[in-house]
Structure 1
Amino acid sequence: MPARRYDSAAVDVSPLGQPLKFEFSGKVAKNRFYKASMAEDLATWNVDNLEERGIPTKELIDLYRIWGENEWGIIATGNIDIEFDMLDAVGDAIITPECPLSGPRFEAFQEMAKVTKANGSLIVAQLTHPGRQLAARIREDTIAPSAIQHPPKNGSVYAKPREATKEDIARVIDGFAHAAEYLDKAGFDGIQLHGAHGYLIAQFLSELSNQRTDEYGGSIENRLRFVSEIAKEIKRRVRPNFIVGIKVNSVEFQEKGIKPAEARIMCETFQALEFDYVELSGGNHEDIGYGSKKETTLKREAYFLEFVRDIVPHLSQTKKILTGGFRTTAAMVDALHILDGIGLGRPAAQEPRLAADILSGKVASAVRPVDGVVNDVILSLMSAGSQMTQVVRGQEPFDLSDEKAFASFQADLGAHFQRFAAAGGSLEFRGFPEISDPDNTSHPYGVPY
């Protein structure tokens, strides 16, 4: 039985196939589809030897090869951390200032870039520092703009932060810049700074987490200083045609975050820094923002479109990409009246071929998960992780629109959490739920349900 899909009005999808030129780097994406970042958990991991962490594996490289074969204009990686022990998650790729421009790690990143770009896609690496969102099981202490500990959430306990010193800030700036230079030389087309979802850059931007009294705190101009210094140092080290983008967060535009009146200043700063694009997203670990609460929100396909309308007038040369909720071609095409690119995350895990299938007219929308999945961040992220793992094992991702398949996944997810609890925080535990039902693993990749 074919997967259930969202209903979409019939539209001409050719606008989605139009090239997108970035004004500052001059790079051109072949179409408007942006494969958004997702956690893959497919890099190497070693509990004791930090230098053996975060090297792209054959499985991670294969995953990006598959997306590269399927007409995504721009493909953004999952988090690439800039410290071996201050990372978003076990299994992330990692590049620190100590990583040389040679050797197995560098060669793995070179191969990752090569296979992703083979069919004309651009590959952009998402660079991240978790700041106060560092899990305490990875390391007990961390740095943040201010010594404000992240409250426990969904069973996660976070590291205790101290206020970052000027030396800490210099180390982070060097870390982002070195990773950008490293990836430029490895053949990547660009990087994206993760300034959303409550990570370190977002922490500096938000008054909620930044209560500093020095030049990095207080006014919006001061809170922008950190990301401005990072961007300038990156630009100093990379080639002129290297894309530099940033992801920002709608939640930070709420009370105690970035006030709406400050949005203009922030956007003008991003453009002055020559960011090629801003990816607009939402949420953080305290309020991820992907769910829908109000009736008006439930009816809005792109969760953050209202936020985007406040931002867009202040960005002319810097391109605008929105990630969060696009599922139908009708909504995607309509959004191009105010946006430059359409970001798709979890649908690209369910259907790595989605961009190609839309542009060819094969489908008009994404697979529609069973009720309850879209608004549950844990179910959404865990199912996407399991589906990506299936892809690199040569399996077609299980069908989230199928009630029976979803029920089986829920059982697998429960078993996964039981194993996590039994591991007692051990860093040996990693990965996403193993799919146990043979009906969910029996289709070879490329053979749809």
Structure 2
Amino acid sequence: MSQIASDLSIKNITFKNRIIKGAMSEALANDLGQPNHLHLGLYEAWAKGGLGCAITGNVMVDLRAKNEPGVVVVEDERDLAQLKQWAEIGKRHGMVQLIQLSHPGRQCPKGLNQETVAPSAVPFSSMLATTFATPRELTEEEILDIIQRFAESARICEKAGFEGVQLHGAHGYLISQFLSPLTNKRQDQWGGSIENRMRFLMEIYRAVRAVTQPEFIVSVKLNSADFQRGGITEQEVIDVFKSIDAAGIDLIEISGGTYEAPAMAGAKASQRKASTIAREAYFLDFAEKIRQQVNCALMVTGGFRTAAGMNAALASGACDFIGIARPLAVETDLTERLIAGQDVRYAVKPIKTGIPFVDKMAIMEIIWYASQFKNIAQGKGANPQLSPLKVFLKYAKNNVMAVIRGRVNSRRTA
């Protein structure tokens, strides 16, 4: 019997199978971060393909802090009607939907926002400093405001009809920045010891729980490691997992890396053990270790490519859900095929433009797939042969235009 096809319930929410679409940037919203018919078309395509659960791409909790052009922002009930339509797609097809709530902190391109903020004013590595500015250190008042923004966004998502939210605590975004000693140099209650560095995450979790119903799913995405020298240690990571589990989290997605060390895109594959490569998933070894420490449901994302590998991971008990991201960007019917015992059709390969400094970053692993999403949303279908260079040039042009529009709008409201 296929482990993939078996259902599983969290509280009173039933996941009809064990495949979850991991979060990927859709980049389909307008400058105000509003969802539209393209989001509906994209998620309906996945729902029709049999997907058990979809976690959305980044949804920002503050319009002043966007990680990229085209990102959805939910900070008030302005777009409640559109969000309800989005949530209804999942209900109509039996697909659970979790909104991934995020704040980019320092991790957003220069010029996109008026400023960038972070736990501490730590600059990026020289390779990325031309793209990302040195952030301003957050005040405690601002930290408390962001915590409440996460809670308000979650409340709105529940009101819209979504089954839950995922707090993005991985990949170098703001929660991850607080967790890492490389980006959190604070000397107050928000920095120093791991207990203090995880306080931001824990307070966000408590704030979300306080404004949502008990059956509302609250998940978190966490790094197994940030793959940077001097970063968060494995024991500290385990402490974070144990603390959020003890607090009552429903589901933890295990990932890894940051923009400066993008393991989430498979960039660290050469450093993985042969046994891990054979078992496909990038973070399965860590999942087996943490499985002994926590009671909540676990999801592993990254590297799965065969039905046999996924079924074996589920049968081992290391994880409860299989997270799939990039393959679903070119195969919307992949879930049904996996359940039938078939494998991923298109091998996931590094997306290369031929521009060295661009190819060293993880950015192409985001924007190339976002271009596929737009094609799917428009009913054109995916194009596995899409030119990475053309995609990047179009992205760069749109970024420049978004910066110009942002500056014009700032002058109008000044």
Q: TM-score, normalised by structure 2?
A: 0.88
Matches within 5 A, 1:49-448: 53-96=32-75, 99-100=76-77, 103=78, 105-151=79-125, 153=127, 157-252=131-226, 255-289=229-263, 290-291=266-267, 292-294=269-271, 296=273, 299-316=278-295, 318-336=296-314, 337=316, 338-359=318-339, 361=340, 364-369=342-347, 372-373=350-351, 377-398=362-383, 400=384, 406=385, 409-410=386-387, 413-419=388-394, 425-427=400-402
Secondary structure of residue in 1 paired with 2:270 = coil
Secondary structure of residue in 2 paired with 1:426 = helix
Q: CA deviation at 1:160?
A: 3.0
Secondary structure of residue in 2 paired with 1:268 = helix
Q: Distance in 1 between matches of 2:399 and 2:74?
A: 28
Residues 120, 183 of structure 2: 8 Å contact kept: yes
Closer, same or farther in 2 for the Cα pair 1:76/1:152, shift >3 Å? Answer: farther
Q: Distance in 2 between matches of 1:156 and 1:114?
A: 42
Q: CA deviation at 1:164?
A: 1.2
Q: CA deviation at 1:263?
A: 3.1
Closer, same or farther in 2 for the Cα pair 1:371/1:254, shift >3 Å? Answer: closer
CA deviation string 1:360-405 (max 9, x = no partner): x2x521123375559984554333222211111212212x3xxxxx
How many residues align? The count is 391
Q: Distance in 1 between matches of 2:226 and 2:349?
A: 29
Q: Distance in 2 between matches of 1:233 and 1:421?
A: 37
What residue is the counterpart of 2:25 in the other structure? 39
What residue is the counterpart of 2:8 in the other structure? 20
Secondary structure of residue in 1 paired with 2:165 = strand
Closer, same or farther in 2 for the Cα pair 1:285/1:225, shift >3 Å? Answer: same
Letter in 2 for 1:294: Q
Letter in 2 for 1:417: F
CA deviation string 1:331-376 (max 9, x = no partner): 10111111100000011111111112222x2x52112337555998
Closer, same or farther in 2 for the Cα pair 1:424/1:294, shift >3 Å? Answer: closer
Residues 367, 391 of structure 2: 8 Å contact kept: no
Q: CA deviation at 1:54?
A: 1.1
Q: Percent identity, aligned pairs only?
A: 34
Residues 141, 160 of structure 1: 8 Å contact kept: no
Residues 323, 344 of structure 1: 8 Å contact kept: yes
Residues 139, 159 of structure 1: 8 Å contact kept: no
Letter in 2 for 1:333: N
Closer, same or farther in 2 for the Cα pair 1:157/1:44, shift >3 Å? Answer: same
CA deviation string 1:235-267 (max 9, x = no partner): 000011000000011333764222122233212
Residues 40, 91 of structure 1: 8 Å contact kept: yes
Q: How large is the RMSD of aligned CA atoms in angstroms?
A: 2.4
CA deviation string 1:10-66 (max 9, x = no partner): xx4x211111222xx442211111011111111122xxxxxxx11111011111122
Q: Distance in 1 between matches of 2:398 and 2:155?
A: 38
Q: CA deviation at 1:159?
A: 3.2
Q: Distance in 2 between matches of 1:255 and 1:307?
A: 18
Q: Out of 10, 15, 19, which is 1:29 matched to?
A: 15
Letter in 2 for 1:364: Q
Secondary structure of residue in 1 paired with 2:159 = helix
CA deviation string 1:119-153 (max 9, x = no partner): 11110000010001122121252221111122365
Secondary structure of residue in 2 paired with 1:175 = helix
Secondary structure of residue in 1 paired with 2:188 = coil
Closer, same or farther in 2 for the Cα pair 1:309/1:255, shift >3 Å? Answer: farther
Q: CA deviation at 1:117?
A: 2.1
Q: Distance in 1 between matches of 2:176 and 2:48?
A: 33
Q: Distance in 1 between matches of 2:348 and 2:47?
A: 28
Letter in 1 for 2:27: D
CA deviation string 1:288-317 (max 9, x = no partner): 11222237365451112222233221112x
Closer, same or farther in 2 for the Cα pair 1:155/1:390, shift >3 Å? Answer: farther
Letter in 2 for 1:427: A
Residues 58, 72 of structure 2: 8 Å contact kept: yes
Q: CA deviation at 1:271?
A: 1.1
Residues 109, 131 of structure 2: 8 Å contact kept: yes
Q: TM-score, normalised by structure 1?
A: 0.81
CA deviation string 1:167-204 (max 9, x = no partner): 11111001100000000000000000000000000001
Secondary structure of residue in 1 paired with 2:243 = helix
Secondary structure of residue in 2 paired with 1:131 = coil
Q: Distance in 1 between matches of 2:328 and 2:253?
A: 17
Secondary structure of residue in 1 paired with 2:58 = strand
